[in-house]
Amino acid sequence: MGSVKTNIGHLEAAAGIAGFIKTVLALQYREIPPNLHLETLNPHLEMGNDIPLSIPTEPMLWPDGKRLAGVSSFGFSGTNAHVVLEEASAVGSGEPIRANPNEEDLSSDGVGIRAKRSPQSTAVTERPFHLLTLSAKNETALRELAGRYAAYLETHPEVSLIDVCFTANTGHAHFDHHLALVAGSSIKAGEQLRPTNYTTGKVRGERTKTAFLFTGQGSEYPDMGSFMRPNRFSARHWNIVMPSCVLWTCLCSICFIRPPPTRTSISSPT
């Protein structure tokens, strides 16, 4: 049993993901890390027969077998989350790594598509599947781009798909019209890029709604929303849509007025 808090202290909203990352790394390296700065256990903790738990003070090899771990995040503000993780099973290598050039032209006319070596392409084991994303300013241009990729991938089965995906996903600007596919080889990716084998989608630029989130760990303070006072329309709009919300009084006090410091029911309603 351990805690990431001994390494990095309080992280508020990031505390859960920090523990998640620590546990994933422990599963990957098959080693249980110690609790940093912990030298002597509390003598009142009767670990052993009565409580089948141990708190490591030095690195421990994780015994062979089915490795499972739980990650808990219990926040002072009321967050209660628990995730069970299991060691991923070993997978065989997918497409073999080939010593292709650092940059290779992917179009017959030498325009538009280039493949650069990705950092992952030097790894010993490749992922069995790869994600390829393409985008363009309109559907016609997107289908033309997909056609060029399909023609190249189907006529060059030796190309490293991981390099093609890396460049397409990270090396180009993202436009409104998208398509995406998952494939295990260049040939399979080319087949999916045939005009009858995929559909396209458009990202709509709709304005999202605004939400207020307070952690309960001291991030909010009286009058913190004073900068919004000149925008009276926003205040009236909130008053219309939120009159029945029990937290409206708290939100109004935090954002617009300065309540007495003793009114913790307002500053920390949880």
Q: Is residue 137 a contact partner of residue 195, using CB atoms and an 8 Å limit? A: no
The per-residue pLDDT for 234 is 56
Q: In the beta sheet, which residues pair with residue 68?
A: 86
Helix (H, G, I), strand (E, B) or coil at 236: helix
Domains of the chain: 5-86 (3.40.47.10), 103-202 (3.30.70.3290), 209-270 (no CATH)
Whole-prediction pTM: 0.38
pLDDT in tens, 89-102: 765 544 444 434 34
pLDDT in tens, 71-128: 988 766 667 788 999 988 765 544 444 434 344 444 433 334 545 555 544 443 467 8
CA atoms of 246 and 192, how far apart (whole Å): 52
Q: Is residue 105 a contact partner of residue 113, using CB atoms and an 8 Å limit? A: yes
pLDDT band at 150 (very low <50, low <70, confident <90, very high): very high
